[in-house]
Amino acid sequence: MVGYVNPYLRELTPDEIAAGHHRDAVGGMWHEIGRLQRDFLVASGLRPEHRFVDVGCGALRGGIHFVAYLAPGNYHGLDLNQSLIDAGRLELKSAGLAHRRAKLLVNADFDLSPFGTTFDYGLALSVFTHIPFNSIVRCLSRVRAVLAPRGRFFATFFQSPRSAYLEPLVHERGGIRSHYDTDPFHLSFEEIGIAGQLAGLAVELIGDWNHPRDQHMLEFRHASVSPGPCHP
C-alpha cells in the first residue's frame, strides 16, 4: 500500500480529551514511554538549566516529565495538532505543573522561530516514524536554525537494514509493521544521514535504547561541531 495522509491532522473533541483518548492518540504506553524519554535525556546530559525543545510534543506524554525536571520556562513544545496541545495543558494542570511556564506552540511546518530562543537540547520522539523524508529534512532544517552552537538534538526512527528498503518490515519488539513510503515509516541510517546533511546537521546512530516498539535513537549536532559537553 502506498500513500500518506498525516494521521495527526484530525483534532480530538473536548469529549474525547475528557475520556483520555489523547493518551492513545500519541501511541499509548503513557507512563512507560513518558518516563523513558525523560530518563534517556537526563542520562545524556540534560540538566534543569538547559533550554529544551520537544518537537512533535503531542499531549506531553514526555512533556509532563520534562516540565517537572527542567527549571520553569525551559520547556518548549511544538505540535501541529491544537487539540493535543490543549490536552497537554490539561495534563500539566492535573499534574500540578501549570505554574512552571511550559511554552507551547502550534504549527505544521516545524517553525520554531516564534519561541524566540536557541536550544541546548531537543527531542523528536515518535515523530520521524510518522512523517515522510522531505518533512524530516524540513524538521531538521528548522531545528538547525535554533540549535545552540553545541546543542544536541535527539530523534527516534524505525531503522531498515538498507536504503530503499521497499518491503514492509516487522519489528520483533512491539510487532509494528513499518513501510518505505507510508506511515509508519522506516529509513536506513544512510538515508537519515542524507536528511541530516541536507539540513546541515551531522548525525550519530545511538541505536537501541530499550524503546518498547523498537524505535532506534539518533543524535544530531551542527555539522561543524565536534562532540563535547553542552554548556548553556
- Chain Cα centroid distance, residue 8: 14
Are 158 and 126 in contact by the 8 Å Cβ rule? The answer is no
Residue 142, Ramachandran bin (φ over 0: left; ψ between -120 and 50: alpha; else beta): alpha
Q: Site for ligand SAM (CB under 6 A): which residue of 19, 108, 170, 223?
A: 108
Residues in binding contact with ligand SAM, number by CB under 6 A: 23
Residues 6+ apart with CB under 8 A from 22: 12, 16, 58, 59, 83, 84, 87, 88
Closest separation in Å from C-beta 228 to ligand SAM: 27
Closest separation in Å from C-beta 41 to ligand SAM: 12
Name residue, grid cell 515523530.
Answer: 127
Q: Write each residue from 45 to 64 as x if it is in contact with ligand SAM (CB under 6 A), else as -, in one continuous string.
A: -----------xxx--xx--
How many angstroms separate the CA atoms of 159 and 188, rounded?
5
Does 6 interact with ligand SAM (rule: CB under 6 A)?
yes
Nearer to ligand SAM, 25 or 201 (CB): 25
The 3-state DSSP class for residue 138 equals: helix
How many angstroms separate the CA atoms of 30 and 164, rounded?
32
Closest separation in Å from C-beta 168 to ligand SAM: 19
Q: Site for ligand SAM (CB under 6 A): which residue of 38, 67, 76, 79?
A: 79
Alpha-helix runs per DSSP H in 95-132: none
Does 130 interact with ligand SAM (rule: CB under 6 A)?
yes
Determine the interface stretch with ligand SAM among 40-48, 121-129, 176-184, 197-205 (rule: CB under 6 A): 121-129
Which run of H or of E encompasses 151? strand 147-159
Q: Write each residue from 131 to 170 as x if it is in contact with ligand SAM (CB under 6 A), else as -, in one continuous string.
A: x---x-----------------------------------
Residues that bind ligand SAM (CB under 6 A): 6, 8, 26-27, 33, 56-58, 61-62, 78-81, 84, 108, 110, 125-127, 130-131, 135
